[in-house]
């Protein structure tokens, strides 16, 4: 049984409930979708786009090391995901929920269900889902209610503990040079820059 994992707003592996569930079932393929800006959502900014491109490249390499291909798709989720799921002959599709686009998820679930696929969406972005609690206006009322709940944590077996940060350093960009703290040096750097443009 092949399961399609749709990576959305997060590209995490170790604490990704959708990926964990898919890996427990058998063969996994993954996709990420470049979606249009839906109503009530904004397009990605340039910094976010840069981060996403770099993250996708690293994530594709890491997933490939576990024999999980990462496909990049383009289009509206309501039509693209069902068509891709059918072309890959998967038996299930899963993803982590996005609360601001829940109507798109509802249409997508209905479409995938009509194809006879097993569909699962997971809460991966918050401790308590928005519909599970009455909204509080202050944290002091929310805290006791939340702390009284039991939370299950899941971890993907393929992830490794990285106490010294080796994993992060392999894909993180190099740090920029430290700022100039000497006032004379700062003034001279500004004057030099001014001379270049004049």
Q: Is the pLDDT of residue 139 over 90?
A: no
Structural domain harbouring 131: 2-197
Question: DSSP E strands: which ranges in the chain?
Answer: 2-7, 27-34, 70-74, 92-96, 118-122
Q: Is the pLDDT of residue 88 over 70?
A: yes
pLDDT for residue 165? 67
pLDDT for residue 186? 77
pLDDT for residue 191? 86
Q: Is the pLDDT of residue 178 over 80?
A: no
Rg (CA), the chain: 22
Which pLDDT band, with edges at 50, 70 and 90, does 80 fall under? very high
The predicted-structure confidence for 107-123, as pLDDT tens digits, reads as follows 999 999 999 999 999 88
Which pLDDT band, with edges at 50, 70 and 90, does 180 fall under? low
Rounded to an integer, what distance in angstroms lies between the CA atom of residue 54 and that of residue 174?
A: 13
Q: Who's near 24: CB < 8 A, 6+ residues apart?
A: none
Q: H or E element: which one contains 32?
A: strand 27-34
Which pLDDT band, with edges at 50, 70 and 90, does 52 fall under? confident
Rounded to an integer, what distance in angstroms lies between the CA atom of residue 28 and that of residue 70?
A: 10
Comparing 69 with 185, the larger pLDDT belongs to 69
Cβ proximity of 136 and 142 under 8 Å: yes
Q: Is the pLDDT of residue 30 over 80?
A: yes
Comparing 137 with 173, the larger pLDDT belongs to 137
Cβ proximity of 16 and 103 under 8 Å: no
Side-chain half-sphere exposure of 158, counting CA atoms within 13 A: 16
Q: Is the pLDDT of residue 156 over 70?
A: no
pTM: 0.70
Domain count, the chain: 1
Lowest mean pLDDT among 14-18, 22-26, 148-152: 148-152
Mean residue pLDDT of the chain comes to 81
CATH number of the structural domain spanning residue 148: 3.40.50.620
With 0-12 / 13-18 / 19 or more C-beta atoms within 10 angstroms meaning exposed / middle / buried, residue 81 is: buried
Residue at token pair 């350093």: 169
pLDDT for residue 172? 62
Which pLDDT band, with edges at 50, 70 and 90, does 144 fall under? confident
């Amino acid at each position: 049984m092949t399961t399609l994992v749709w990576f959305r707003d997060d590209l995490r592996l170790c604490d990704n409930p959708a990926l964990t569930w898919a890996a427990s079932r058998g063969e996994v393929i993954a996709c990420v979708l470049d979606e249009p800006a839906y109503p009530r959502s904004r397009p990605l900014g340039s910094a976010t786009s840069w981060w996403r491109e770099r993250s996708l490249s690293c994530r594709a390499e890491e997933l490939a090391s576990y024999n999980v291909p990462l496909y990049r798709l383009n289009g509206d989720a309501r039509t693209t995901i069902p068509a891709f799921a059918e072309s890959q002959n998967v038996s299930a599709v899963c993803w982590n929920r996005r609360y601001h686009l829940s109507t798109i998820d509802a249409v997508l679930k209905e479409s995938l269900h009509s194809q006879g696929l097993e569909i699962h969406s997971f809460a991966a972005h918050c401790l308590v889902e928005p519909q599970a609690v009455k909204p509080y206006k202050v944290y002091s009322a929310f805290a006791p209610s939340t702390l009284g709940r039991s939370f299950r944590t899941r971890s993907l077996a393929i992830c490794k503990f990285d106490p010294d940060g080796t994993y992060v350093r392999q894909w993180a960009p190099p740090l920029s040079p430290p700022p100039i703290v000497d006032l004379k040096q700062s003034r001279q750097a500004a004057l030099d820059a001014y001379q270049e443009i004049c």
